[in-house]
Amino acid sequence: MQDMFFLAIIWTGVLLSYFMAQKTKLTPVLYFLAFGSLMVNIGVLPEQSSEFIRGFSEIGIILIMFAVGFEEDSSHFIQGVKRSWGIALFGALAPFAAAYYVTLYFWQDPKLSIMCGLAMTATAVSLTMVSLKGERLQHSDAATGIMTSAILDDIASLAAVAILVPLATGAAELTALGILVIIGKAITFFVLISVLNLFVFPHNSTLKLFNRIPALKNFGIKDLIGVSKGEQATLAVLLVALLISLVSYEFGFHPAVGAYMAGLIIKQEYFHFFEESKRDHYEQTKKIVDNVAFSWIGPVFFVELGSKIIFDQSILLDVIPEIITLTTGILLAQIISAAIAAKTTGNYAWHESILIGLGMLGRAELAFVVMDIGYVQHSIITTEAFYTLMATAFILNVTVPISIKLWKPYFEGSKPLSLRLGTKRVWLSRQKPR
């Protein structure tokens, strides 16, 4: 029953967080993180979560990412990938370099610096998308740019972890075969998703193969969603999301990546299976998915994430200079690199580019995985470095919802902001047509 007690505390915090978010007009994600950190530091929640709470939080992040992908149009996503490669590349290299050289300056240990760089590389895409949803910006082109570049960033980060962690721990040497295996896994996974999207899921398709082999139309996902006249549509799509999440995990990715891709390839047209039905099965399913993802299961992930921030006052005071330097370095490197890349390689406007830079600040799942590998499993990361990374990740995560809220008026054009470069004025905020 102890797990039930902890879940009751977490849900109480979720409810209080929504109340505080409504009063302060800030995203509830900020309060989820703060509540988790507060509860673990005053001893209400345990430092080591139980298997039940950890599993519950994993389900939460899978649901959140599926819900976000479920709202997105797949063609919109593909267009976003074409525009986001530069953001993913430079948005990952810059924070890695900043973390590597800052930690190398303070502790003069290249292996430790590699682990710190990896921990600060991948973007917390789920945190950003929930924050954007709270400000009703989740359907903007910039949001798609953040999502696509963050997923590419996470894939690259996972590959980097697979390559560099064995080097840092001394367990392996860098080989061409190892790199090819990792790249091959990524390509295979996305080919599999493409096959599902093009050949398995759709009943009707513009592909000539469907005309040549009409039997393909008898095995689409519409039959699965339409079980019991659509009464079990939510269960069907969640099952698909879970299965693809498990597949992505087997390929070495976080399950959330698979959940997002599952939501992306399940189209609204698949729910139109009964012409005589007056019910909108898609909207009904979407409403249920959003409810469980953003109201009572998904938030557990963020409270659990906040509970990872455990503060020891004596150590914390000793590493304040390191925390300030690393946080400032990551913040500037991430915003500047992602914003400039979005403007130059993605052809986004400045108000969109800056939002993308702000949205890439969060550090979550992979950061804590790397910290666990480096600090707990192999003792490469020192206690001082661990506290520095934890505090930096917490500050960056808190910065995401606040900065997005602060930038929203400039993004929407209700507030003007420009810079004068010589004789030319550069508008950083959106210019509304007169």
Q: How confident is the model at residue 45 (pLDDT cuts 50, 70, 90)?
A: very high
β-pair partners for 425: 420
The pLDDT of 164-178, averaged and rounded, is: 63
301 touches 66 (CB < 8 A): no
User: pLDDT tens across 51-84, in order?
Assistant: 899 889 889 888 988 887 787 666 666 666 777 7
Share of the chain above pLDDT 70, in %: 83
Residue ranges of domains in the chain: 2-427
Share of the chain above pLDDT 90, in %: 18
Residues 6+ apart with CB under 8 A from 180: none
Q: What is the DSSP letter of 377?
A: I
Residues 6+ apart with CB under 8 A from 244: 193, 196, 258, 259, 261, 262
> Cα–Cα distance between 56 and 54 in angstroms, integer?
5
- From the list 365, 386, 384, the residue with the least C-alpha distance to 375 is 386
Within 10 A of 336 (CB to CB), how many other CB atoms are there? 15
Q: Could you tell me if residue 368 is left (phi over 0), alpha (psi between -120 and 50 degrees) or otherwise beta?
A: alpha
How confident is the prediction for the chain on average, in pLDDT?
A: 81
> Cα–Cα distance between 298 and 309 in angstroms, integer?
19
Lowest mean pLDDT among 110-124, 276-290, 387-401: 276-290
> Cα–Cα distance between 7 and 34 in angstroms, integer?
16
Look up residue 401 and give its amino acid: P
221 touches 200 (CB < 8 A): yes
> Cα–Cα distance between 158 and 369 in angstroms, integer?
10
When the candidates are 1.10.3720.10, 3.20.20.70, 3.30.460.80, 1.20.1530.20, the CATH number that belongs to 2-427 is 1.20.1530.20
158 touches 253 (CB < 8 A): yes
356 touches 149 (CB < 8 A): yes
Lowest mean pLDDT among 188-192, 193-197, 256-260, 363-367: 363-367
pLDDT at 266 > cutoff 60: yes
171 touches 194 (CB < 8 A): no
**pTM to 2 decimals?**
0.71
